[in-house]
């Protein structure tokens, strides 16, 4: 059975042997599910659906079978007629991405990594544009080896001061009568592009303001042409939503809340830090922070007083905070606010996060166990993502201390008076982590160490390293 027949059989529900499954997976032709059970001596995988690369091979986009799967005795199958085949068959890459070097980590690399995971051959690393490079020479070089080209237009891109004839010429590039350059607007508006090149502003483009998922969808639709509809139909027949295949590959970037006692480990006041998660800049973030203990006390009071529409303000105090953040990157501090927990030794918070890339829900809990603060935090995609991605794990980020102990929500205010601690530097004071202080310049400093019973200090302090590290980067 040749590779094309194997892929057709998988689409019809047949399951090849493990060696064949792994080889097809290694070649990027199929996606698999791990169904290993506890009694299995090794890993066991089953095919779930064809990747975009597998679908393209099935439709005749490849002249040769994958080298690791095809046996010497097999012959190349006769492929159906394809109007783009003559142009594509000599191209090594599906797409190249041209970008200003400053935009590499924020947009270019995540875009390239996601397209590669979808099965496309992406030429990426050699198209980082620097001052003095020839734009047209770089584009022509890319098109010599690639079916299509993506050019990321940003403030950094236009800061290279390209000659007008090169910018205007970019809008006119065509291959075999069709447009082969797709501009991506990143952090620029139509007026910005018009100021540099009116012809380029009139060219069809996609903006990252719509989110990276929309950008990838636009690019994927062009890369699949003219078999895009057939590919998406086959994905749906396999029980897969084409948009799901894209969205689940993308690591979201957003802002979440995590904190530490202010001034000392047993302080009654906490500093809540706004932290960045993800590989790129988070835009238009709305953070709704809720103290679940205070909200539960208010709820219990209303249950006992059904004829009163609102609980008295003093019953539990402030229970929520709303913050809007226009733009936040992974390279620096975003901000913070102070909070007085109802009980510092037992805390429960919910944070609703809305940003350009979607809606997420954060649950964060704190418990003091044997005198040591332990914590648990999870961040999940919202309801609409779960509806679009049935069967997929919605968890984006989850950490839990091994010694963490779950506690119930508070039903009444604690009777003990809170302990106030000076929030700044204290001479000759040995801080016990986690703790945060405000230095003489007004900046928050996190104590990255924990005292042990023998009097020594270790820097590994469980989940509290969230305070000092960045999470969510795309591995590379």
Poorest-confidence range of 223-237, 246-260, 451-465? Answer: 223-237
Sorting pLDDT into bands at 50, 70 and 90, what band is 164?
Answer: low
Give Cα separations from 20 to 15, 57, 77, 118, 399 (angstroms).
Answer: 10, 17, 19, 20, 36
Among residues 148, 142, 146, 113, the alpha carbon closest in space to that of 128 is found at 142
**In-domain check, residue 65:** no
Sorting pLDDT into bands at 50, 70 and 90, what band is 212?
Answer: confident
Dump pLDDT digits (tens) for 376-429.
999 999 887 787 776 677 899 999 998 899 999 998 887 766 666 666 666 556
Q: What percent of the chain has pLDDT over 70?
A: 68
Dump pLDDT digits (tens) for 103-154.
888 888 888 887 877 777 788 765 555 555 566 677 777 777 788 888 889 8
Dihedral over Cα of 92, 87, 31, 80: its sign? negative
pLDDT winner (highest mean) among 76-80, 231-235, 344-348: 344-348
Answer yes or no: do 158 and 12 share one domain.
no
Answer yes or no: do 389 and 407 share one domain.
yes
Poorest-confidence range of 125-129, 231-235, 402-406, 445-449? Answer: 231-235
* Res 168: pLDDT: 65
- Rounded CA-CA distance 89/64 in Å is 10
Poorest-confidence range of 31-40, 43-52, 225-234? Answer: 225-234
How many structural domains compose the chain? 3
Answer yes or no: do 261 and 334 share one domain.
yes
For the chain, what is the mean pLDDT? Answer: 75
Give Cα separations from 421 to 104, 180, 268, 339, 467 (angstroms).
Answer: 44, 63, 7, 13, 20
**Higher local confidence (pLDDT), 45 or 338:** 338
* Res 348: pLDDT: 96
**In-domain check, residue 67:** no
Does residue 271 surpass a pLDDT of 80? yes
Q: What percent of the chain has pLDDT over 90?
A: 17
Answer yes or no: do 103 and 217 share one domain.
yes
Cβ neighbour number for residue 21 with a 10 Å cutoff: 19
Poorest-confidence range of 16-20, 63-67, 164-168, 465-469? Answer: 63-67
Strands 395-400 and 346-355: unpaired
Sorting pLDDT into bands at 50, 70 and 90, what band is 62?
Answer: low
Does residue 176 surpass a pLDDT of 60? no
Distance from chain centroid for Cα 214: 14
Answer yes or no: do 242 and 264 share one domain.
no
* Res 399: pLDDT: 92
Does residue 10 surpass a pLDDT of 60? yes
Does residue 266 surpass a pLDDT of 50? yes
Answer yes or no: do 216 and 259 share one domain.
no
Sorting pLDDT into bands at 50, 70 and 90, what band is 82?
Answer: very low
* Res 422: pLDDT: 65
Residue of 44, 74, 102, 166 marked active site: 166
Mean pLDDT of 47-61: 69
Dump pLDDT digits (tens) for 22-36.
777 767 777 766 555
Picking from 197, 216, 247, the residue at the C-terminal end of a domain is 247
Mean pLDDT of 316-342: 87
**In-domain check, residue 112:** yes
**Higher local confidence (pLDDT), 366 or 55:** 366
Strand partners, 49: 31
* Res 61: pLDDT: 52
Full residue range of the structural domain in which residue 433 is found: 254-467
Angle, nearest 10°, between helix axes 109-117 and 212-224? 50
What's the CATH code of the domain at 124?
3.40.50.10140
**In-domain check, residue 219:** yes
**Higher local confidence (pLDDT), 205 or 414:** 205
Picking from 58, 77, 100, the residue at the C-terminal end of a domain is 58
Does residue 262 surpass a pLDDT of 50? yes
* Res 325: pLDDT: 93
Poorest-confidence range of 14-18, 90-94, 170-174? Answer: 170-174
Answer yes or no: do 163 and 120 share one domain.
yes
**In-domain check, residue 388:** yes
Does residue 77 surpass a pLDDT of 90? no
Picking from 213, 247, 281, the residue at the C-terminal end of a domain is 247
Among residues 163, 261, 179, 246, the alpha carbon closest in space to that of 212 is found at 246
Sorting pLDDT into bands at 50, 70 and 90, what band is 52?
Answer: low
- Rounded CA-CA distance 5/78 in Å is 12
- Rounded CA-CA distance 287/211 in Å is 18
- Rounded CA-CA distance 185/103 in Å is 12
Q: Examine the residue annotation and report whether 176 is marked as an active-site residue of this protein.
A: no
**In-domain check, residue 43:** yes
Does residue 329 surpass a pLDDT of 90? no
**In-domain check, residue 475:** no
Does residue 87 surpass a pLDDT of 60? no
* Res 190: pLDDT: 87
* Res 460: pLDDT: 53
**In-domain check, residue 436:** yes
Dihedral over Cα of 406, 408, 409, 415: its sign? negative
Question: Secondary structure of the chain in the HEC alphabet?
Answer: CCHHHHHHHHHCCCCCCHHHHHHHHHCCCEEEEECCCCCCCCCCEEEEEECHHHHHHHCCCCCCCCCCCCCCCCCCCCCCCCCCHHHHCCCCEEEEEEEEHHHHHHHHHHHHHHHHHCCCCEECHHHEECCCCCHHHHHHHHHHHEEEEEEEEEHHHHCCCCCHHHHHHHCCCEECCEECEEEEEECCCHHHHHHHCHHHHCCCCEEHHHCHHHHHHHHHHHHHCCCHHHHHHHHHHCCCCHHHHHHCCCCCCEEEEEEEEECCCCCCCEEEEEEEECCCCEEEEEEEEEEHHHHHHHHHHHHHCCCCCCCCHHHCCCCEEEEEEEEECCCCCCEEEEECCCCCCEEEEEEEEEECCEEEEEEEEEEEECCEEEEEEEEEECHHHHHHCCCCCCEEEEEECCCCCCCCCCCCCCCCCCCCCCCCCCCCCCCCCCCEEECCCCCEEECCCEECCCCCEECCCHHHHHHCCCECCCCC
- Rounded CA-CA distance 441/439 in Å is 5
Sorting pLDDT into bands at 50, 70 and 90, what band is 438?
Answer: confident
Answer yes or no: do 284 and 157 share one domain.
no
- Rounded CA-CA distance 280/288 in Å is 21
Angle, nearest 10°, between helix axes 18-26 and 3-11? 100
Answer yes or no: do 243 and 258 share one domain.
no
Answer yes or no: do 327 and 435 share one domain.
yes
Length of the chain: 476
Answer yes or no: do 260 and 218 share one domain.
no
269: left (phi over 0), alpha (psi -120 to 50) or beta: beta
Answer yes or no: do 443 and 307 share one domain.
yes
């Amino acid at each position: 059975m040749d590779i094309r027949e194997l892929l057709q059989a998988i689409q019809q529900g047949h399951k090849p042997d493990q060696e064949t499954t792994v080889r097809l997976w290694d070649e990027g032709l199929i996606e698999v599910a791990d169904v290993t059970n506890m009694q299995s001596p090794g890993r066991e995988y089953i095919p779930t659906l064809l990747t975009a690369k597998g679908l393209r091979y099935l439709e005749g986009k490849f002249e040769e079978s994958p080298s690791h799967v095809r046996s010497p005795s097999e012959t190349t199958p006769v492929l159906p007629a394809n109007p783009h085949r003559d142009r594509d068959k000599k191209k090594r890459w599906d797409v190249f991405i041209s970008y200003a070097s400053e935009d590499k980590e924020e947009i270019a690399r995540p875009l390239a990594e996601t397209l590669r995971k979808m099965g496309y051959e992406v030429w990426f690393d050699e198209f980082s544009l620097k001052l003095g490079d020839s734009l047209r020479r770089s584009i022509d070089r890319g098109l010599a080896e690639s079916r299509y080209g993506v050019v990321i237009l940003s403030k950094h891109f236009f800061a290279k001061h390209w000659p007008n004839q090169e910018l205007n010429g970019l809008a006119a590039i065509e291959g075999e009568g069709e447009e082969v350059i797709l501009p991506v607007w990143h952090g620029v508006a139509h007026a910005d592009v018009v100021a540099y090149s009116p012809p380029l502003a009139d060219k069809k483009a996609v903006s990252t303001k719509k989110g990276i998922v929309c950008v990838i969808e636009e690019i994927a639709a062009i890369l699949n042409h003219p078999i895009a509809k057939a590919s998406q139909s086959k994905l749906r027949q396999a029980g897969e939503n084409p948009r799901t295949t894209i969205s689940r590959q993308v690591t979201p970037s957003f802002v979440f809340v995590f904190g530490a006692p202010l001034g000392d480990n047993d302080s009654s006041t906490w500093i809540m830090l706004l932290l960045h998660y993800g590989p790129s800049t988070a835009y238009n973030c709305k953070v709704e922070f809720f103290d679940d203990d205070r909200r539960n006390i208010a709820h219990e009071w209303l249950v006992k007083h059904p004829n009163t529409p609102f609980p008295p303000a003093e019953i539990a105090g402030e229970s929520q905070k709303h913050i809007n953040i226009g733009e936040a990157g992974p390279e620096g501090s975003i901000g913070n606010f102070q909070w007085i927990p109802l009980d510092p030794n037992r805390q429960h918070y919910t944070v609703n996060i809305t940003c350009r890339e979607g809606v997420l829900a954060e649950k964060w809990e704190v418990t003091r166990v044997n005198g040591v603060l332990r914590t648990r935090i999870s961040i999940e995609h919202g309801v609409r993502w779960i509806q679009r991605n049935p069967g997929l794990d919605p968890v984006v980020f989850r950490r839990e201390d091994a010694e963490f102990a779950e506690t119930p929500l508070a039903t009444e205010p604690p009777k003990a008076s809170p302990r106030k601690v000076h929030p700044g530097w204290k001479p000759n004071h040995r801080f016990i982590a986690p703790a945060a202080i405000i230095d003489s310049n007004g900046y928050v400093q996190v104590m990255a160490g924990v005292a042990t019973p023998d009097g020594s200090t270790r820097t590994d302090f469980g989940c509290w390293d969230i305070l000092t590290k960045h999470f969510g980067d795309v591995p590379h």
